[in-house]
Amino acid sequence: MAAQDSYKRSHVIVIALLIILLFITVIVSFMLGRYSISLKELFNILFSRVIPIDTFWSEQMEVVVFNIRLPRILMACLVGCCLSAAGAAYQGVFQNPMAAPDILGASSGAAFGAALAILLGASSRLIMATAFLFSLLTVGMVFVLSQRTKGNKVIGLILSGIMVGSLFSAGTSFIKLVADPSNQLPAITYWLMGSLSGITKKELALAAIPMAIGLIGLFILRWRINILTLGDDEARTIGVNTNLVRLSVIICSTLITAASVSVSGLIGWVGLVIPHLSRKVIGNNYRYLMPASMIFGAIFLLVVDNISRNLLAVEIPLGILTAFVGAPFFIYLLTRKGETL
Amino acid sequence: MSIQVENLSFSYDKHEVLKNVSFSATENRILSVLGPNGVGKSTLFSCILGLLPDYSGKIEVDGEDIRNLSAREMARRIAYIPQSHYPSFNYTVFDMVLMGTTQQVSVFSTPGKKQIERAERAVERMGIAHLSHRGFSMISGGERQLAIIARALAQDAHTLIMDEPTANLDFGNQIKVLTQIKSLASDGYTIIQSTHNPDQTFLFSDLVLALKDGRVFACGKPADIVNRELIHALYGVDIELQSICNDAVRVCVPSFAAQP
């Protein structure tokens, strides 16, 4: 018993440390930017909303904190959290360490939806909605198709995901071909590279709803994901309704992936690299892996977004940065000494 | 009567795998299913475990038709010990054992104190408590098998179905695993295992179910039915049965080696 207690305690401590790290990253992120804000100013501005404090800062500073940095920081955290959680969940459901949030075509569908909306001259909020709906639609199609495949359901899902995903990618390419090269094509290309610039409170509020539903669902189901990794037969003899649990996990993961991609565009690598980093730190038990992946994902994307908006005079698209950081880091994880994955 | 199978038949598409299989397994007994590869041993187990519902005939566990039992209710009665394999992710031995307790908690929660204690008793019972925090894929095949048996104990089911529990194990581990299985049977568990080694049936079985072409070829005590004729019929090889240790043990010796 004592051994189990200390084992559990060490995992809880790791998660607590991650939460502290996230908190520090958030504070630092508020201070970074073209309009620099000191720690003292930041705390006074934040607390002035709760308790009365004499204003000694400019109104502009308050606007920057509440209307620009706050939504963007929260969005970066949420998107990182969602992509990482969805990746971790899919790796379990598909018993495949290489699974990522786009395995069922959620990203390809969103990209097609966004490109179509841009082609039709839609507003930015309508682009977001279209991307979200097409993402759900794509995964829905993949799931329905997979139910008609024979044999192993998991392989059926993965193959259907590849097929439908590539169909939508072809559709996106076609839209790029016919788009107006002077304004639409750059808009589509930029969207596809991923960015969080121009996020407002409204968008944050809209995206937060599906994100919250999916994240809570995955958190609740996290122990059952362990059982799914054993394969269907073994899981069923343990007493788990594999089809129902798998479907629930897929629905939750799709909601959060679709919501993330529709606000941020395509951001790769987070959903693959962060769950693996978390596995190295805290082990494979989803009871701890799921929360650790969520927090790690939030920290990672927030750091990357800070680089994106501060490194150069122009914003660097997130998709490019996550690949630059993610790919080498993944190679390091794979070649590092110690227990294998 | 723990497991009762009556006139069980099963077909994959048009290929009939099991034909009118009937037998029963009881507490405190090890039933070994003997038969060549592809004879339907795994299919038989899948039917009993409720994984293949499209069978004809009747399967009862503790007097209840398994068609009327949910996955959760089945898990409380029957546990499955598959052949030794690596999971996709390297869980610790203890996490692996704890997974067996899943049906004891609601869908929305994770195993608690009671389940952890149960898993602890199971790893101690199997003598692998010292491996609890090792990675499941870092331990030996025999230890992995003991861990999966511990998982079945943590599951708290009283019928254990084992698919070739000693396949791919070295000699020492075979004996260790089989000795544990034997002691579980004397503790009151019902054990159904498949095996490829007729010699083991004399040492570690109370009953033998011999399958040929999907039918029951013979069923009875090993000393009564495992003989030259049975081995020839099942495997198409000639053996001589040798009795040693005052007939406490018998061994199958290939005929070429048994020539005087």
HEC secondary structure over chain A: CHHHHHHHHHHHHHHHHHHHHHHHHHHHHHHCCCCCCCHHHHHHHHHCCCCCCCCCCCHHHHHHHHHHHHHHHHHHHHHHHHHHHHHHHHHHHCCCCCCCHHHHCHHHHHHHHHHHHHHCCCCHHHHHHHHHHHHHHHHHHHHHHHHHCCCCHHHHHHHHHHHHHHHHHHHHHHHHHHCCCCCHHHHHHHHHHCCCCCCCHHHHHHHHHHHHHHHHHHHHCHHHHHHHCCCHHHHHHCCCCHHHHHHHHHHHHHHHHHHHHHHHCCCCCHHHHHHHHHHHHHCCCHHHHHHHHHHHHHHHHHHHHHHHHHCCCCCCCHHHHHHHHHHHHHHHHHHCCCCCC
Q: Residue A44: its pLDDT value, please?
A: 87
CA distances from B42 to A316, B45, B85, B164, B214 (A): 56, 5, 16, 10, 11
Residue of B nearest to A284 (CA): B91
Quick check: A339 pLDDT over 60?
no
Residue B232 lies in a domain: no
The contacts of residue A129 (CB under 8 Å, 6+ apart) are A262
Q: Are residues B95 and B192 in the same domain?
A: no
**Residues B18 and B39 grouped into a single domain:** yes
Banded pLDDT at B260 (limits 50, 70, 90): low
Q: Which of B117, B139, B155 is the last residue of a domain?
A: B155
Residue B230 resides in a domain: no
The span from the CA of B137 to the CA of A311, in Å, is 43
- Could you give the ipTM of this predicted complex? 0.90
**Which of B108, B140, B155 is the last residue in one of the domains?**
B155
A116 inside domain: yes
Burial class (CB in 10 A: 0-12, 13-18, 19+), A86: buried
| A171 pLDDT higher than 90 | yes
A5 pLDDT tier (thresholds 50, 70, 90): confident
Residue among A78, A80, A90 at smallest CA distance from A218: A90
**Same domain, yes or no: B39 and B102:** no
Q: Does A279 touch chain B (CB under 8 A)?
A: yes
Which pLDDT belongs to residue A325?
A: 86
What is the rounded CA–CA span in Å between residue B248 and residue B89? 44
Q: Is the pLDDT assigned to residue B202 strictly greater than 80?
A: yes
Helix/strand/coil for B59: strand
CATH number at residue B13: 3.40.50.300
Give alpha helix (H) positions in B99-205: 113-125, 141-155, 171-186, 198-204
Spatial distance between the Cα atoms of B2 and A43, rounded to a whole number of angstroms: 69
Structure tokens that stand for A222 in this block: 């996290």
Residue A151 belongs to a domain: yes
- B69 and B162 part of one domain: yes
- Give B107-143 pLDDT, tens digit per residue: 888 898 999 999 999 999 999 999 999 999 889 999 9
User: Cα B146 from chain centroid?
Assistant: 13
B92 and B141, same domain (yes or no): yes
| Confidence bin at B7 (pLDDT 50/70/90) | very high
**B109/B67 same-domain check:** no
Full residue range of the structural domain in which residue A170 is found: 2-335
The size of the A-B interface in CB pairs under 8 A is 95
Does residue B117 sit within a domain? yes
Domain that holds residue B174: 1-77+157-222
Q: pLDDT confidence of A341, banded at 50, 70, 90?
A: very low
The answer to whether residues B23 and B147 belong to one domain is no
**Distance to chain A for B217, nearest Cα, Å:** 28
pLDDT band at residue A92, thresholds of 50, 70 and 90? Answer: very high
Read off the pLDDT of each residue in B84-106 and give the average, rounded to a whole number.
90
Query: From the list B89, B103, B132, which residue is nearest A239 (CB)?
Result: B103
Please indicate whether, in this complex, the C-beta atoms of A223 and B95 are within 8 angstroms of each other.
no
Looking at residues A92-111, what average pLDDT do you find? Answer: 91
Rounded CA gap, B227 and B205, in Å?
Answer: 15
Q: Mean of the pLDDT values across residues B25-42?
A: 92
Query: Are the Cβ atoms of B49 and A236 closer than 8 angstroms?
Result: yes
Same domain, yes or no, for B66 and B103? no
Nearest CB to A238 within list B50, B90, B100: B100
pLDDT band for position A56 (50/70/90)? confident
Examine residue B2 and state whether it is found in any structural domain, yes or no: yes
- Quick check: is A228 in a domain? yes
Does B100 share its domain with B142?
Answer: yes
The encoded tokens of residue B173 equal: 């581990």
CB contact under 8 A, A284 and B102: no
- Terminal Cα distance for chain A, rounded: 27
pLDDT at A340: 52
A187-243: pLDDT as tens digits: 999 999 998 988 889 889 999 999 999 999 999 999 999 999 998 899 999 999 999
Q: How many domains does chain A have?
A: 1
Task: List residues of B whose CB lies inside 8 A of any A CB.
Answer: 46, 49-51, 71-72, 74-76, 78-80, 82, 87-92, 94-95, 99-100, 102-103, 105, 107-111, 116-117, 120, 132-133, 135, 137-138, 155
- Asked whether the beta carbons of A268 and A322 are under 8 A apart, the reply is yes
Same domain? For B4 and B93 the reply is no
What confidence score (pLDDT) does residue B257 get?
Answer: 81
For chain B, how many structural domains are there in total?
2
For residue A13, tell me if it sits in a domain. Answer: yes
Give the gap in angstroms from C-alpha B182 to the nearest C-alpha of chain A. Answer: 22
B215, B181, B213: which is closest to B195 by C-alpha?
B181
Average pLDDT of the segment spanning A144-150: 89
- Residue that is written with structure tokens 């030259």 in the block: B228
Mean pLDDT over A12-23 rounds to 96
Higher pLDDT: A15 or B253? It is A15
CATH of the domain at A129: 1.10.3470.10
Query: Does residue A341 sit within a domain?
Result: no
The verdict on B106 and B90 lying in the same domain is yes
Chain A residues closer than 8 Å to B72 by CB: 239
Whether pLDDT at A136 is above 80: yes
Question: Is residue A268 assigned to a domain?
Answer: yes
Q: How many C-beta neighbours within 10 Å does residue A36 have?
A: 10
Q: Is B213 inside any structural domain? A: yes
Chain B residues with CB under 8 Å of A245 CB are 107
Q: Please answer yes or no on whether A339 and B90 come within 8 Å at the CB atom.
A: yes
Q: Is residue B229 part of a domain?
A: no
- B64 shares a domain with B8: yes
- Residue A340 falls inside a structural domain: no
Shortest CA gap B61–chain A (Å) = 14
pLDDT per position as a tens digit, A265-320: 999 899 999 999 999 999 999 999 999 999 999 999 999 999 999 998 888 999 99
- Domain assignment present for residue B28? The answer is yes
The interface residues of chain A toward chain B in range 216-245, judged by CB-CB distance below 8 A, are: 220-224, 226-227, 229-230, 233-234, 236-241, 245
On whether residue B252 sits in a domain, the answer given is: no
